[in-house]
Every structure is written in C-alpha cells, then in structure tokens.
Amino acid sequence: MALRDILNSGVKLIMIGGKGGVGKTTCAAAIAFHMAMEGRRVLIISSDPTPSLSDIFERNIGSHEVRIHETCELYGLEISSDIVLIRWKDRFGKEIHEVISSFADVDYDFVDYIGTAPGIEEEYMLSFIIELVESNKYDLVVWDTAPAGHTLRLLKLPQLFLKHMEAATKFYMNIYSYFEKLKEAVRLGESKRTLLEIIGSWEALAERIVRFIRDRTLTEYIIVTIPEALGVILTERIIKDFQEHGLYVDSIVINHVIEHEDCEFHRIRKEMQRQYISMMRGQYRNVDIMELYLMPYEIKGLERIEKISQVLFKTQG
C-alpha cells in the first residue's frame, strides 16, 4: 500500500532497503518520526554495522531500545551482528546442545561452531525482529536494513530459516542414522520425543517468519533509490529478487531529485534524472513512487528529519 495509507492500516513492520548511501536511514528516520508524531508507538531499528541512527538522531542509540523523542513515542535500537549472535546463542544454544549431545560427545563450544555457519546471523536477525514485532510492544517497527546485498541475502534465507540448523546438525554429525534410531525410540514409546519436538519448533518458527514477511497486510517494503542508471538497475534487481521469493515492493522513494534547475549544471542533471524517473514510473505502475528532493544540507537532527517526512507524506504517487 502507499506510504500515506500505512497509518490507518494494520502494517506492523516496514522494511527499508536499497543501494548503499542512497538515503535509506534518512527515509527510515523520517517515516518512523512521522508515524510517532501521529500518535503511534514506533521503534526504528538499524541492523547496519555502522551506528547510523545515533548519527542522524544526534543521540546515543545502542543495542537496547531507547526513547529518542521527549513527547512522541519514538524509540530506537541499533543492533549489531555480534549482539545478534549472542542472543541467538541465548535463545537456541541450550536446545542445540541438547540435540547434539544426546547422540555425540560434544561440549558446549560446539554451539559456537554452529553459530559460525554462513547465514545464521542474517537468519537470526530476521527472527529477532519478527519476535520484537509480534511482542506488540510497538504499533510499528521500521527497519533500516544494511545496504542492498545484505538485504537480499537476508530475504533469501527465511525459507531455510533454522532448518539450516537441522541440516547443519545432520551434516556435521551424520545424524541420519541417529534419526532412524530416534524414530524407533519414539515408536517404542521411549522418552526421546522432546528432541523431535525441539527440531519441530525450529521449523515452526521458520514457517511463522516466512508467513509474516509474505503477509502484505503486516509487512511493507520500501526501496530507496536514485534517478541514475545504477539506481534503476539495482531497483530492478531487488524487485525481481523479491518476486522470486514471494515478496512485493510496495513503495519506491526516488531520492536526490533536483528540485530547481537554476544553473546549467543542474539543468543537465535534472534532465538526466527526468529520464530515469519516467523510466521507473513506467516500469512500476503498481508501485507507489515518491520523489524526494535533494536538500542543500545533510539530514541530521529532528528538524531536518521532519522536513523529509513532510515531503514524503505529501508526495503523490
């Protein structure tokens, strides 16, 4: 749905993606701020390795949720992959150890080893954020994702989410024969059932996450881009990739648009931009497209963030 319709919808999660440096954090901040000013309880999360929210809001936001506005309910959280991994271990470490140590002699360090498997970090980031969303502590969570490559990898993974752990376990420990024994034990009524239940619960969690991110009434995807060839190509790639995974981009923000051409340099640039903008408008007729002007200053502090949100929320698609 269009950005301006989100306010009165049941959307719980807005994900903002796009190429590096195009204005993702700026747009995420403006959207979160607007929704909070409209009376919603909003959490903005950045999973970027560099602490970008602290920068734009000009206050310290760390790995714990902090309130970033005195009057409206706007909260912020910067979550690094290190912390995600620590939380992943808290959440699953004991279960994993329980599963593996029941058939192999491993100490707890093995959990660390599984934690280094490729993809775990992104997988758990998603799980962590969905759990936050589902906790209903906030009306809306706005997620400023890391640059495009990361986002794509992240979105490719949910289908495999946590099944990966099962697969990793099978692979590393040659679990197949163990599963046969386990099934036999269950058949004979012996007390191994909980292990199958644990693995079952991982799968259930994976399915829940996929259902959530595919539900267009709950999750909204916004791509930020710029009116240049590279921006157009990358947007195309992201949208195609999303579709392949059953996900749909709802809005595109075209940022860095020249508003007034008052010199030759800007006239040429604006003409170049115009072509790419109409190309995208023609290509994505079902997507809400917004244009965001390039301001003469960088976007830092609430006053400028508010300025961006005014442009975003009055732009017609």
Ligand X SMILES: Nc1ncnc2c1ncn2[C@@H]1O[C@H](COP(=O)(O)OP(=O)(O)OP(=O)(O)O)[C@@H](O)[C@H]1O
Whose Cβ is closer to ligand X: residue 5's or residue 298's? 298
Contact between 145 and ligand X by CB under 6 A: the answer reads no
Contact between 52 and ligand X by CB under 6 A: the answer reads yes
142 half-sphere exposure, CB direction, 13 A CA radius: 28
Q: Of residues 164-223, which lie at the interface with Mg ion (CB under 5 A)?
A: none
Contact between 235 and ligand X by CB under 6 A: the answer reads no
Contact between 23 and ligand X by CB under 6 A: the answer reads yes
Interior CA angle at 101 toward 95 and 106, to 5°?
115
Bridge partners (DSSP) listed for residue 116: none
Q: From the list 22, 141, 206, 247, which residue makes contact with ligand X (rule: CB under 6 A)?
A: 22
d(CA 121, CA 255): 30
| Cβ count near 270 (within 10 Å) | 16
Contact between 151 and Mg ion by CB under 5 A: the answer reads no
In angstroms, give the least distance from the CB of 217 to ligand X: 27
In angstroms, give the least distance from the CB of 14 to ligand X: 14
Number of amino acids touching ligand X (CB under 6 A): 16
Of 239, 231, 234, 282, which Cα lies nearest the Cα of 257?
Answer: 231
Which amino acid type is present at position 238?
Answer: I
Which listed option, ligand X, Mg ion, none, makes contact with residue 7 (CB within 5 to 8 Å by class)? Answer: none
Contact between 25 and Mg ion by CB under 5 A: the answer reads yes
Which listed option, Mg ion, ligand X, none, makes contact with residue 80 (CB within 5 to 8 Å by class)? Answer: none
Contact between 48 and ligand X by CB under 6 A: the answer reads yes
Which listed option, ligand X, Mg ion, none, makes contact with residue 301 (CB within 5 to 8 Å by class)? Answer: none
Contact between 52 and Mg ion by CB under 5 A: the answer reads yes
Q: Is the separation of the CB atoms in 234 and 19 below 8 Å? A: yes
Write out the two tokens for 271: 């003409």
Q: Is the separation of the CB atoms in 158 and 202 below 8 Å? A: no
Which amino acid type is present at position 304?
Answer: R
